[in-house]
Amino acid sequence: MEIEIFDVEHGACALVTADNGKRVLFDCGHNSRTNWRPSTSLPSRGITRVDSLVVSNYDEDHVSDLPNLLLNVHVPILVRNPSVKPVDLYALKAENGVGRGIGTLAYMAGNHYTAPVAAPQDFGALQISHFWNAYPGIDDENNLSLVTILRYYNLGIIFPGDLERRGWYQLLARADFRLALRGVNVFVASHHGREGGYCPEVFDFCTPEIAIFSDKSVEHETQESATLYRQHASGVRFFDGETRYVLSTRNNGATRLSQHGPGTGFIWISRR
C-alpha cells in the first residue's frame, strides 16, 4: 500500500493506493505557486480513475481542483459527511460565498453516493473507517470535517480534515472512535497544523510516530504548533537518515509512505 501526501500549500490532497490496485483520493486542493493539480498530475501518471473521492472538509482549499478533476478523472463515489445536505452546504457557505470547488461539490452531493457508501468497497487488507459530527448539532464547517482512519497491518494513519477542539471532544465521547484511534501511528495534523486543530486529549488514545502538516511556504502559526505535536511523537528515521517527529509539505514537499504486507513495524518514507 502507498500513501502520497501532496504539496498543495494550505490545502489538502492525498492519494492512497491499496495492494489490490484500488485508489482513494483524499481531497483535491491544488498548489497555486507551482500549479500542481491532481487533475493533471494523476492522468499524467496514467491514473484516470479513482475508486472514491473522500472530501474531509467543506472549504474551498480542500476541493479547489474538483471541477477540473471531474473532467479528467472518473470518480464514481463521493465520501463526505452525509449529515450535510446540499442545501445545508449552501447555507453554511452563505457568509463567505460559494467557490467553484464547493459549488461542484454541492452538485455532486446530490448525485453521488455518500458515506457510508451503498455497498462495501474492497481495498484488500486496507481498512477504512469514517467518523463525523452531525449537522445541525454542529454547525461550523471545520467541526463537520469527515475524519478518516486507515489501518493496514501495523500502519494506522488519520486524516482529520480541519477538525477543531470542539469537534474532537464530540468524537472522543464515542467508544468506537477512541478504539480506532489506538492504532494510529501517523498523524496528519488537523486544520493544516494550526493550533486550533490541536487537541492534546487525542493523544491519550494514540501514540504517533510522526505528525504531518500541510501548509503554506510561510506559516508562522504552524511553525509554532509543531512543538505541540512533536511532544507526542516517537520519531521516524527519514530518507536522509535523520529522525523526524514532524514533517510539513512546506519544508519536505510531497511525501510517500509505503508498506507492503505485515512488515516488522517499519514505515518507509520518501520524497517525490
pLDDT tens for 154-199 read 999 999 999 999 999 999 999 999 999 999 999 999 999 999 999 9
What is the reported pLDDT for 263?
Answer: 65
120 vs 124: which has the higher pLDDT: 124
Domain ranges of the chain: 2-271
Q: Where are the beta strands (DSSP E) in 18-172?
A: 23-26, 52-54, 78-79, 127-131, 147-152, 155-159
160 upstream amide cis, omega within 30 of 0 = no
Percent of the chain past pLDDT 70, that is, above it, reads 90
Please name the residue ranges forming H helices in the chain.
38-44, 66-72, 86-92, 100-109, 165-172, 175-181, 220-230, 249-252
Please give the backbone phi and psi of residue 261, each rounded to the nearest 5 degrees, phi first: 85, 180
196: Cβ contacts below 8 Å, ≥ 6 apart: 142, 164, 165
CATH (one of 3.40.50.1820, 3.20.20.105, 3.60.15.10, 3.40.50.620) for 2-271: 3.60.15.10
Taking alpha carbons only, the member of 39, 26, 34, 46 closest to residue 8 is 34
Tell me the torsion sign for CA atoms 122, 125, 126, 132. Answer: positive
pTM, full prediction: 0.94
